[in-house]
C-alpha cells in the first residue's frame, strides 16, 4: 500500500483540443500545462497535419514530457492533449493518453476526463467479439467502440458510442481532418469552447486554459452535445438527449483552478463566498488569525477572514516543488510527508488561537499530522473549518474515492472526527451554505459525494474498482 502526499481528494484529468493553427501542438502544450492541476501523473499530445496523426506521451509532468524537439515533431494544424490522474487503470505508460487507434475510418486519437460506470460490461462484450485491448483504462472502451462501430462516418460512430456508454465523460477526439468534443448527458465533467484569432477553435476542460493561450470563451459544451470542428467551421449536434445538469460540485470546492469560471462564476469568487458562509455557520470567537492550507484552501480562508473580521495570515508555507510523493503509510512517515510539503510559520502561530481553513476532509490521513505540527509550532488552540460538507459517499464519475470504507465521514461523526484529528473545534460548511455560495441551483449540480444522490444510477452489479481491468486475462 502507498500513501499519496495529497491523500485527500484526488484530481481528475484535463483535456484540450485546438483546430486551425499550424502550431497546434505547441499551443496544446500550453493548454495542458494550464490544466496541470487536474493531473500530475502523465501527459500527452496528438497532432494531425491533415493526412497523418503523430503523438507523443509519457509519464511525468507536462514540462518533463515535452521539450522543444518533441513538440517540433508533432506537425499539424489540429491537436489534442491530456494530463492524467488515474481513476481507472494503474499509473503506467500503457494507460497514458491520448489513445490512438487505427480503424476503417482512419486513425483516431482520444483524450478523456471522467469514468464510465458500464465500462466493464462493454469491455466484456467486445472481448467476446474478438476486440483486443492494450490498456487497463476505461477510455480505451470509448475509442474501441468508435473504431468498431461500422458506421460510415466518424460523427455517426461517436453518436453510436455515446448511446452505449454511461457515466461521466468529457472527451476530445482527433481524426486526420476533424476535432470533436463530447460531453455526457448530465454534464458531470466540464468542457468548454473557445475561439482563438477569430478563426481557430479550442476545446478545454477549464477556461483557465483559454486564458493562457489568449482565446476567447464562447460557451460550455452542453450535456449530451457533440461539437464537430473541421474546415467548414464548427457544427453543434445534440447527439443524445440531455438528461439533466449535474456539474460536479467539487469543481467549485477544489478541482478547478481559481481563475477558471463555470456557469458564469469564477472559482476564486465562489470560494471566497464559501468562506463567508462558513464564518456565519461556524464562527470562531476569540481566534487571533485565520490561515489556509495552501493552495486550495486560500480563497476559502480569505472569505472566512473577511466575514469574521479575524486577521488573515500565512500560518504554513507550501513547498511548491513537491508534487506527489509515495511513502510508507506508517504514522512517522506520514508526518514526514506533511513536513516535506508544509512548513509552519512559528512567528504567526506561537501563542495564538488559530483558525485553519481547508477545502475538504476526505480520508483524514494528513490533517491530523498537520494540526500536530501547528501545535508544535506554538499554537495554543487549533480550530478547523472545512469549506464543504462531510464527504460521506464514494464517487464513481472520475474521482478516486470509489471505496466508501476509506471516507472518514462515512464512519465517524463530526465530533469523532474532531477528536481523531486533534482539533479544538471542527466545523463543516452545510450543503445549503455551499449551494448559496456557488449561486447555482442544486438541481444543476452533482453532490452525490455529499448527499448520496447519484444523477447516473450505479448498478450494484457494476464492476467499479480502479483496477478492474488489471487482471492479465483482461488485456490481450
Residue positions annotated with a catalytic role:
13
Are 251 and 446 in contact, with CB atoms under 8 Å apart?
Answer: no
Q: Where are the alpha helices (DSSP H) in 296-407?
A: 298-308, 331-341, 346-349, 367-376
The DSSP secondary-structure symbol of 317 reads: E
- Measured distance CA(307)–CA(295) in Å, rounded: 20
Residue 468 CB coordination number (10 Å): 18
- Measured distance CA(88)–CA(204) in Å, rounded: 21
* Rg of the chain (C-alpha set): 22
Of 119, 99, 170, nearest in space to 467 by CA: 119
Residues 6+ apart with CB under 8 A from 335: 369, 372, 373
Are 114 and 63 in contact, with CB atoms under 8 Å apart?
Answer: no
- Measured distance CA(339)–CA(286) in Å, rounded: 28
Grid coordinates representing 434? 455551499
DSSP 85-115: --SSS-SSGGG-SSEEEEETTEEEEEEEES-
Amino acid at each position: 500500500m502507498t500513501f499519496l502526499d495529497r491523500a485527500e481528494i484526488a484530481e481528475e484529468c484535463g483535456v484540450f483540443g485546438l483546430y486551425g493553427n499550424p502550431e497546434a501542438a505547441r499551443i496544446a502544450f500550453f493548454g495542458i500545462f494550464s490544466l496541470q492541476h487536474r493531473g500530475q501523473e502523465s501527459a500527452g499530445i496528438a497532432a494531425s497535419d491533415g493526412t497523418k496523426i503523430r503523438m507523443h506521451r509519457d509519464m511525468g509532468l507536462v514540462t518533463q514530457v515535452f521539450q522543444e524537439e518533441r513538440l517540433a515533431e508533432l506537425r499539424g494544424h489540429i491537436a489534442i492533449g491530456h494530463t492524467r490522474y488515474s481513476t481507472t487503470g494503474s499509473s503506467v505508460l500503457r494507460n497514458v493518453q491520448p489513445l490512438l487507434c487505427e480503424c476503417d475510418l482512419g486513425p483516431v486519437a482520444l483524450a478523456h476526463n471522467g469514468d464510465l460506470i458500464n465500462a466493464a460490461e462493454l469491455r466484456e462484450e467486445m472481448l467476446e467479439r474478438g476486440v483486443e485491448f492494450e490498456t487497463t483504462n476505461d477510455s480505451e472502451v470509448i475509442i474501441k467502440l468508435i473504431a468498431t462501430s461500422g458506421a460510415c462516418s466518424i460523427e455517426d460512430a461517436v453518436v453510436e458510442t455515446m448511446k452505449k456508454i454511461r457515466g461521466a465523460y468529457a472527451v476530445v477526439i482527433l481524426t486526420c481532418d476533424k476535432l470533436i468534443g463530447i460531453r455526457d448527458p448530465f454534464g458531470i465533467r466540464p468542457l468548454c469552447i473557445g475561439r482563438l484569432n477569430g478563426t481557430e477553435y479550442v476545446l478545454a476542460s477549464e477556461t483557465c486554459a483559454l486564458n493562457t493561450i489568449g482565446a476567447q470563451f464562447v460557451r460550455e459544451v452542453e450535456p449530451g452535445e457533440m461539437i464537430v470542428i473541421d474546415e467548414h467551421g464548427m457544427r453543434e449536434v445534440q447527439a443524445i438527449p440531455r438528461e439533466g445538469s449535474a456539474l460536479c460540485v467539487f469543481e467549485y470546492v477544489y478541482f478547478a483552478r481559481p481563475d477558471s469560471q463555470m456557469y458564469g462564476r469564477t472559482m476564486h469568487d465562489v470560494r471566497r463566498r464559501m468562506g463567508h458562509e462558513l464564518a456565519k455557520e461556524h464562527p470562531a470567537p476569540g481566534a487571533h488569525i485565520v490561515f489556509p492550507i495552501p493552495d486550495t484552501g486560500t480563497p476559502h480562508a480569505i472569505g472566512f477572514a473577511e466575514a469574521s473580521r479575524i486577521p488573515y495570515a500565512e500560518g504554513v508555507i507550501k513547498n511548491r516543488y513537491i508534487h506527489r510523493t509515495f511513502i510508507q503509510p506508517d504514522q512517522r512517515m506520514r508526518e514526514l510527508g506533511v513536513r516535506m510539503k508544509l512548513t509552519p510559520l512559528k512567528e504567526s502561530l506561537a501563542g495564538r488561537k488559530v483558525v485553519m481553513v481547508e477545502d475538504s476532509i476526505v480520508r483524514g490521513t494528513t490533517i491530523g499530522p498537520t494540526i500536530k505540527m501547528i501545535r508544535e509550532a506554538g499554537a495554543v488552540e487549533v480550530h478547523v473549518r472545512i469549506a464543504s460538507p462531510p464527504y460521506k459517499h464514494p464517487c464513481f464519475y472520475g474521482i478516486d474515492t470509489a471505496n466508501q470504507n476509506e471516507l472518514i465521514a462515512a464512519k465517524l461523526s463530526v465530533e469523532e472526527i474532531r477528536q481523531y484529528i486533534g482539533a479544538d473545534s471542527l466545523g463543516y460548511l452545510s450543503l445549503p451554505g455551499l449551494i448559496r455560495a456557488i449561486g447555482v441551483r442544486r438541481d444543476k449540480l452533482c453532490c452525490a459525494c455529499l448527499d448520496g444522490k447519484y444523477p447516473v444510477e450505479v448498478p450494484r452489479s457494476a464492476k467499479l474498482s480502479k483496477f478492474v481491468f488489471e487482471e492479465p486475462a483482461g488485456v490481450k
